[in-house]
Amino acid sequence: MVASPYQCLTLSLLILPPLLLTTYFMAIFPSPPPPVFVHPSLASMPLQSKSWLIYPEDFYSGGGYVMFPNGKVRYWLLGPENGKKVVLIHGLSIPAIIWKDVAPTLVARGYRVLLYDLYGRGYSDAPTTPYTASLYTTQLAFLMQYLKWDKANIVGVSMGGAIAASFTAQFPHLVDEGVGLIACAGLMDSSDISRTAKFMSSPLVQTLAATKPVQAYLQRLTNQTATQNSVEDKSNSSILEIVRLQSAHLPGYNNALSSSLRDGPIRGQRAAFQSPSFEGKRVLILHGTKDTTVPPKYALEIATLLPPKAVRKQVMIEGAGHDLGISHAKDVASAILDLLAGGGPSWKEAKTAS
């Protein structure tokens, strides 16, 4: 049966539009990618904000800013310039103020200490980009290059420990003899993260949380909570207040945390701990026996994953929870000093895996 001209025209009208559209979209050249949008840091807070009293820009001496492709980074250099170098990396939610009771002890013993705020926390900018392990490791690599540090001992707490492990795996030439993993994340299962945290870190919730009405509500709630908690323990309450202020007033902070939970080094770092880059390094694994955020079972797992030629030392602090840098600052500082000294009897007794 021969098709009529009418049928041919109808068929052409049905086929040609989608064919032309498909050809257009396949042939069109994409627009250039937009620049990374950067949310402001605590430096943007009004001068009457409590953040300037609790955690001012000059909380530590020797502070400075440097601009990198993903935004401005705040750092501090403490201790003698000729001292052995050590980097302290904070965790998921609390910026470099977490080291306030540890860093001075290292400085007093003659070490050159580098502190800095991770992207999205404290006085470092918050880029609108996935907060992957590579974002954090390249931030530190750029910073060390800027400061002309050839290498340093690397110590991290919580997510900072996972960053330290990933940094060692990716940039072994920048890592000196010691790596400190304190209450270290990196191997957590999804089941270790609460349903509330998973829900709150979802893209939909984060989009809603970034709206002005929700931000205004969070700011009012933060002000009320600050008033109610004014008589609490000053040390712990000031740390918690900084977390609340960032969450309520900095649009990029909540996104940085939620993206770190979804995309960051909290999980999936098994290959980093197994990296041959750890061979010949002293690795301190310090954990609290009552840690409910990163269960202590992961300390043992990290120790077993390290390559055979890594010298590992596992220290469990009885009864301690997750925030070791606050609750057990003296123990943490002592363990780090032991790691940095390296030649003491405790490390001579430490074994490589058989």
The residue ranges of every structural domain in the chain are 38-344
Give the model's pLDDT for residue 243: 93
CB 335 within 8 A of CB 286: yes
Q: Which amino acid is at 167?
A: F
- pLDDT higher than 60, residue 225: no
- Identify any residues that bridge with 284 across adjacent strands, giving them in sequence order: 180, 313
pLDDT in tens, 197-209: 666 666 655 555 5
Rounded Cα distance between 105 and 265, Å, is 28
Rounded Cα distance between 151 and 137, Å, is 14
- pLDDT higher than 90, residue 24: no
- Read off the pTM: 0.85
Residue the block writes with tokens 């590992």: 312
Give the model's pLDDT for residue 250: 92
**19 pLDDT tier (thresholds 50, 70, 90):** confident
Percent of the chain with pLDDT over 90: 70
Rounded Cα distance between 52 and 350, Å, is 44
Read off the pLDDT of each residue in 15-39 and give the average, rounded to a whole number. 76
- Give me the helix-helix angle, 234-249 and 212-228, nearest 10°: 170
Give the model's pLDDT for residue 286: 98
Q: Which amino acid is at 77?
A: L
User: Between β-strands 282-288 and 311-317, what pairing exists: parallel, antiparallel or unpaired?
Assistant: parallel
CB 167 within 8 A of CB 272: no
- pLDDT higher than 70, residue 310: yes
Rounded Cα distance between 36 and 162, Å, is 25
CB 125 within 8 A of CB 71: yes
Give the model's pLDDT for residue 23: 74
Give the model's pLDDT for residue 141: 99
Q: Which CATH superfamily is 38-344 part of?
A: Alpha/Beta hydrolase fold, catalytic domain (3.40.50.1820)
CB 219 within 8 A of CB 248: yes
Give the model's pLDDT for residue 207: 59
Rounded Cα distance between 137 and 186, Å, is 14
Read off the pLDDT of each residue in 142-158 and give the average, rounded to a whole number. 99
Give the model's pLDDT for residue 80: 98
pLDDT in tens, 182-197: 999 999 988 777 766 6
Read off the pLDDT of each residue in 76-82 and give the average, rounded to a whole number. 98
- Taking residue 170's Cβ as centre, other Cβ atoms within 10 Å add up to 18
Rounded Cα distance between 103 and 100, Å, is 6
Give the model's pLDDT for residue 4: 66
Q: What is the 3-state secondary structure (H, E, C) of the chain?
A: CCCCHHHHHHHHHHHHHHHHHHHHHHHCCCCCCCCCCEECCHHHCCCCCCHHHHCCCCCCCCEEEEEECCEEEEEEEECCCCCCEEEEECCCCCCHHHHCCCHHHHHHCCCEEEEECCCCCCCCCEECCCCCHHHHHHHHHHHHHHHCCCCEEEEEECHHHHHHHHHHHHCHHHEEEEEEEECCCCCCCHHHCCHHHHHHCCHHHHHHHCCHHHHHHHHHHHHHHHHHCCCCCHHHHHHHHHHHHHHHHCHHHHHHHHHHHHHCCCCCCHHHHCCHHHCCCEEEEEEECCCCCCCCHHHHHHHHHCCCCCEEEEEEECCCCCCHHHHCHHHHHHHHHHHHHCCCHHHHHCCECC
